[in-house]
Structure 1
């Protein structure tokens, strides 16, 4: 059955199935190409009549992940210019007001989309939450740093989407006064910036950071990737020069420059930059309640499928310790806790703590507002991935069917039940169901069987970095 909702720019037609209304591909800003290319998001033109919102809208230009990640995290590629769109799942467009969750996908700021089946919001709507998922500009289009274009355009897109939620979500049964923004990896990094951005003030009330800590870089560092692309393209490193180039050509060169980088091993990529507009140089401490955490073996998504965990020798490990200025006492501590572990495992464990677990714990320590910390520990049997990066998403969305590339068949439904309920409770009330962070450092460890709170897990190793 079709259903009509009225937004500020016009009416949209969604579809009801099993008592859940779904509206797909609703534009929240104008297509970011032509005169709008490399510009801040512009308002979408109003439309007459009823616009169909029955299929996912275009995705932001991108290339698939390199093998073998492309099989584990398959990207959607829907062509078209109107990639600044969002999707809404709601149990009652005419009712409410219901809690709202806004999902910002990850993908190193250059991959991913809200059209991935893994992000289907039906289970949230089934359980009384309005779920909104957002597309935003990626790669050089969204995060390339130019002297003649606004910085952090992808972040500005997210703010425009949150503004749309504030102004329109009541028409879908949502409560604009109870909005929780959620994201994983680059999505969580984006949200960390949004929590301190004056541009996003008042647009959401709680935040969930999954496997992504606060991370920004100076403009000078952020511009390096554009300069490398400009050199390969034989054009000036300006938005004007890049806007004159074909989209596919830019993607080809972008892949050449950043295609082999990953969040653990590093390499050239795209970052949120400090611009003193969207992202202030001296940000205030976030006051929104936070739910944050990471997976026990984040590094294994990048280290294991391609065999990097086996290629790291004792010499490679020593060189990495020197490169990243990791004290010898830290390495000895990790080795002692993992007797017989491969050098690649030791390096991966240290990288996970250095880049994710440590920064997230420090964020929790620094906040006056309520903060809840979790760890996802269930190990996937697929390719010995263990409790790797992105594995928890299928459990949060209660969508194991579409997460099998990472989880394998037969993933534990009881773990999805408890994790999904915790996210809903946090969105509805600000309390996911365990103790808030304090000097005891309570961490909810999601595992199967045996989800439970642990106090200060691996604290000796985390303190070694200080």
Structure 2
């Protein structure tokens, strides 16, 4: 391995890889870990990439599975990059790092969209703190998760498993320790983390896990198959491997987004992980009770997720009433996961992100990511967080995540899924950047109803 300012040449088992060095940070972007999923490979299990016979230029982000953004505007900058080699990953590492812990970050996007090339996922602050960051891409939507006859289920999860295999085989060349891998992700990425943690197939590929606004996002097969049939009708093809395979990925994704936009089809999780194959033989909550018992888990949610924009009093009343759909989808997953892992030999720790963005009107979905990554100066943060997001909150949140990836237990007590569970609260209005609290994920009783519902 040789390194000079501007150019970094890496010799890895995958081959010679040419990246870039900026100060004390090394970046190797868009490295294919699998053969391009095109032609006969489009709806097939991923195949490991052959060793490079020529030096690979890793100076720019690789192609993304996302061809069409999920929404016209998104909180996270999510660039789409054209090309066939969508099964690629990027490595950001400290210069002269040796046996550093590794953070593998899985992007979100409802399993339909999202981009590992987002500047919010840049690992420069983790490199500063002695951590190697890896951001893989995976197949999305129909190509990654549609229930099609003759197609292996959960292709998107199979892509991520192969990426983790690549990390195990190659990361030492970048200064990472293959025996100290933490898999983490946000939203759909956090759901993928819980799915992999619950899977026997995922066992041994990582030592720690972090789920940021994740949940139990398994697709209902009947609903997904109905969606795929209606999608085929809209696109004028049979809802089969051959039918969709005759269309470009762009055309299929456009059809998905148009169909979702129709009345009654706005569920962002219409396609996602399926239960019933070798990866997810049982529902994720059931799998967590028996698999990954020795893997420490950190998970949490934002206070408002998709319910920003309301004045504080109205927002508090909505939470107290337990009426928010996102409470059921995101926040209730936290104590549920802790309860599933109640007998685990490793701990489960909860957190809640409560800082209200003055732009977004609350502690909403995705607003916590620049704080965890400590990249408050990244493109798009001012548009989402305002011009003066609290740097001390980023310092505190990033430090907690760094400590966890380095193998240390969180400073607060683990959770068991029972009422009164402890949690770390980040950025509560009028509070210190971090505060330990209890009961933030407890069920609540809507006023006047006498009925308890999960919050």
State the TM bucket, normalised to the shorter chain.
0.7 to 0.9
> 2: CA distance between counterparts of 1:298 and 1:11?
42
Q: CA RMSD in A?
A: 2.5
How far is 1:83 from its partner? 0.8
Aligned residue for 1:379? Answer: 356
Note if 1:410 corresponds to 2:388. Answer: yes
Contact 1:219 1:275 in 2 (8 A): no
Note if 1:16 corresponds to 2:18. Answer: no
Deviates more, 1:219-228 or 1:289-298: 219-228
Aligned residue for 2:301? Answer: 294
The one-character-per-residue Cα deviations of 1:211-237 (angstroms, maximum 9, x if unpaired) are: 111231343333222112111123221
Deviates more, 1:36-45 or 1:241-250: 241-250
Contact 1:261 1:268 in 2 (8 A): no
Q: 2:347 aligns with which of 356, 361, 370?
A: 370
Q: 2:209 aligns with which of 207, 210, 213?
A: 207
The one-character-per-residue Cα deviations of 1:83-106 (angstroms, maximum 9, x if unpaired) are: 1111111113x5411110000000
Note if 1:103 corresponds to 2:105. Answer: yes
Do the aligned partners of residues 271 and 49 (structure 1) sit closer, same or farther apart at CA in structure 2, a change above 3 Å counting?
closer
How far is 1:8 from its partner? 2.2
Contact 2:76 2:118 in 1 (8 A): no
> 2: CA distance between counterparts of 1:117 and 1:460?
36
Do the aligned partners of residues 242 and 347 (structure 1) sit closer, same or farther apart at CA in structure 2, a change above 3 Å counting?
farther
Which structure has greater helix proportion? 1
Aligned residue for 2:36? Answer: 31
> 2: CA distance between counterparts of 1:246 and 1:55?
24
Q: Unaligned stretches of 5+ in structure 1?
A: 311-337
Aligned residue for 2:270? Answer: 269
Do the aligned partners of residues 3 and 141 (structure 1) sit closer, same or farther apart at CA in structure 2, a change above 3 Å counting?
same
Aligned residue for 1:85? Answer: 88
How far is 1:16 from its partner? 1.4
The one-character-per-residue Cα deviations of 1:117-143 (angstroms, maximum 9, x if unpaired) are: 111110000111011111111111111
How far is 1:196 from its partner? 1.7
How far is 1:6 from its partner? 2.1
The one-character-per-residue Cα deviations of 1:341-376 (angstroms, maximum 9, x if unpaired) are: 699777885323222212211211221230110000
Number of equivalenced pairs: 428
Q: How does 1:212-227 map to 2 (within 5 A)?
A: 212-227=214-229
The one-character-per-residue Cα deviations of 1:161-207 (angstroms, maximum 9, x if unpaired) are: 11101111111111111100010000001111101222221100110
Q: How does 1:323-334 map to 2 (within 5 A)?
A: none
The residue matched to 1:177 in structure 2 has which SS?
strand
The residue matched to 2:352 in structure 1 has which SS?
strand
Deviates more, 1:42-51 or 1:218-227: 218-227
Q: Unaligned stretches of 5+ in structure 2?
A: 446-450
TM-score, normalised by the number of residues in structure 2: 0.88
Q: How does 1:301-316 map to 2 (within 5 A)?
A: 304=309
Contact 1:184 1:210 in 2 (8 A): yes
The one-character-per-residue Cα deviations of 1:38-95 (angstroms, maximum 9, x if unpaired) are: 111112122223211111111113312334xx15333201110001111111113x54
> 2: CA distance between counterparts of 1:400 and 1:24?
21
TM-score, normalised by the number of residues in structure 1: 0.86
Aligned residue for 2:448? Answer: none
Contact 2:70 2:109 in 1 (8 A): no
The residue matched to 1:201 in structure 2 has which SS?
coil
Aligned residue for 1:395? Answer: 371
Contact 2:370 2:376 in 1 (8 A): yes
The one-character-per-residue Cα deviations of 1:418-452 (angstroms, maximum 9, x if unpaired) are: 10010010111141322222454111000164121
Aligned residue for 2:424? Answer: 444
Aligned residue for 2:157? Answer: 155
Do the aligned partners of residues 16 and 391 (structure 1) sit closer, same or farther apart at CA in structure 2, a change above 3 Å counting?
same
> 2: CA distance between counterparts of 1:112 and 1:354?
23
Do the aligned partners of residues 262 and 392 (structure 1) sit closer, same or farther apart at CA in structure 2, a change above 3 Å counting?
farther
